[in-house]
Amino acid sequence: MDKLYEKALESFHHSYSPYSHFAVGASILLKDGTIVGGTNIENASYGLSNCAERSALFAVYSLGYKKDDILSMMVLANTPKPVSPCGACRQVMHELLPERADIILTNLKRDMKIVKANELLPYAFTDSDL
């Protein structure tokens, strides 16, 4: 848990968020012990910005890992309560994380809320809807 927090915090500090000034860090623990981080990266064309959760998940898959290789994920921001992932990220997390994976939402005070992807996005749109 400490290592996951450290990586999420490191990623939080890597945030490129000159427009919102709202930094977010995410980290993902893999079965082989690797921890991959991701941060939010904004753009002057605001809609092209990418959230920390998606940066981290896309990095994991880009490294060649699959859904089953993932154990847990952490998301961190400087919020009064554990950060609440946006709707777009909930959709992506629902598809790319295993159902059993713990999603640990946290903040700089280390308040923590642990949820599963199904709780974050009940009745999600999935490949079975296509």
Residues forming contacts to ligand THU in the complex (CB under 6 A) are 17, 20, 22, 24, 40, 42, 49, 51-53, 85-86, 89
6, 10, 42, 53: the catalytic one is: 53
29 versus 73: smaller Cβ distance to ligand THU: 73
Beta bridge partners of 41: 16, 50
Is 53 a catalytic site residue? yes
Q: Give the shortest CB-50-to-ligand THU separation in angstroms.
A: 8
48 versus 130: smaller Cβ distance to ligand THU: 48
Whether the CB-CB separation of 86 and 50 falls below 8 Å is answered with: no
Helix axes 87-96, 52-62, angle to 10 degrees: 20
Q: Give the shortest CB-99-to-ligand THU separation in angstroms.
A: 20
Instruction: For the chain, state the CA radius of gyration.
Output: 14
| Distance from C-alpha of 28 to C-alpha of 111, rounded to nearest angstrom | 18
70 versus 93: smaller Cβ distance to ligand THU: 93
Strands (E) across the chain are located at: 24-30, 35-39, 70-77, 102-107, 112-115
Q: Give the shortest CB-39-to-ligand THU separation in angstroms.
A: 7
Residues assigned a catalytic role: 53
